[in-house]
Structure 1
Amino acid sequence: MNEEAFRAFFTANFGDVWAFIRRRVATDEDADDVTADVFAVAWRRREDLPSGAERMWLFRTGYNVLANFRRGVERQRQLHLRIVSVDPPEVGYEAVADVDQELWSALAALSGSDRELLLMQAWDGLEVAEIAAVLQVSAPTVSSRLYKARDRLQRELHRRDRQGRGNVQGESHGKGSTRR
């Protein structure tokens, strides 16, 4: 791939890759750095990019570069004195006004791997086969994990809904109560 073709490739894919990374890091600056690293790898390996699957290659590379970035952040964190007793969140998300806060809370209660799968599908619009390519696992494995992650999210939302109703309606369900 010559320089001109790479520029077109970069222009066509930069926004999607940056958004993919941004949803997984704390700041725009971190997203800029990680995305730059992804495209630096792509430039170095431009002759080896899989024909017809370049976009998925970028997402998979982004996922791997992000893992390296997180390991680097963790190493830096360990070198500094601990100022607060609570570790910073592993993944940063921008607040989205039109999304239910209960959903955000329920997502936050899930494991990182469940949350990542659900967000790859919902935010990034990736299909099961594409997620499998990014994670380098089989599509049936992703499908099964997605099914379980959706179930856990649903149960968490249901649990929160029951708690919310219990707080509003009170906890007394003694004799004569018509509980449904």
Structure 2
Amino acid sequence: MSSGTEHEDRFRRVYAGNFQPLLAYAMRRVEQPEDAADVVAEVFLVAWRRSRELPPEAEVRLWLFGVARRVLANHHRGGARRERLGERLRHRLRAAVGVDPGSEVPERLTVQAALARLGELDREVLMLTFWEGLEPREVAAVLQVSSAAVRTRLSRARARLRDLVGDDHGPPGHVLDVMAVPTPEEGR
């Protein structure tokens, strides 16, 4: 047997003999089972990379637990960083949107369903005008059509959307109020 094969066989024995105890160790220290699997995978990656330095059989499990402890510490630090980043992003989104994005979900779903029933060009004209804040000449440039065509399509699309959604726009500030805003006129 070559030394490479002996080396691989030893690693297989270390893996087979320690996978379950390491998985149990990790499972007790993370919130999600898939995180425990990731931790164990990373422990064995470290063990594979350093396999020529593994301690004797009697000490290898303790060495693996030490590696797992460091991997878990990194995992928890990474989780804390991700949580802080997520909180900053949520804060920025709330500031940019002005309200909790989930507060108007039913109305948004109604509008999205109605938009889906419009033709592709009408839907795009509405979305570019109201969601992206473009003027008809800008929408025309994006869609490569005339400004007059955009104004005509916008008028028809708004009327069709009102028909699909209904006239009950709900309380002021409702998502559908945007459809009642006059179309920007561009010094015709």
Higher helix share: 2
Q: Which has the larger radius of gyration?
A: 2
TM-score normalised by length of structure 1: 0.44
Structure ranking higher on relative contact order (CA contacts 8 Å, 6+ apart) = 1
TM-score between the two structures when normalised by the length of structure 2: 0.42
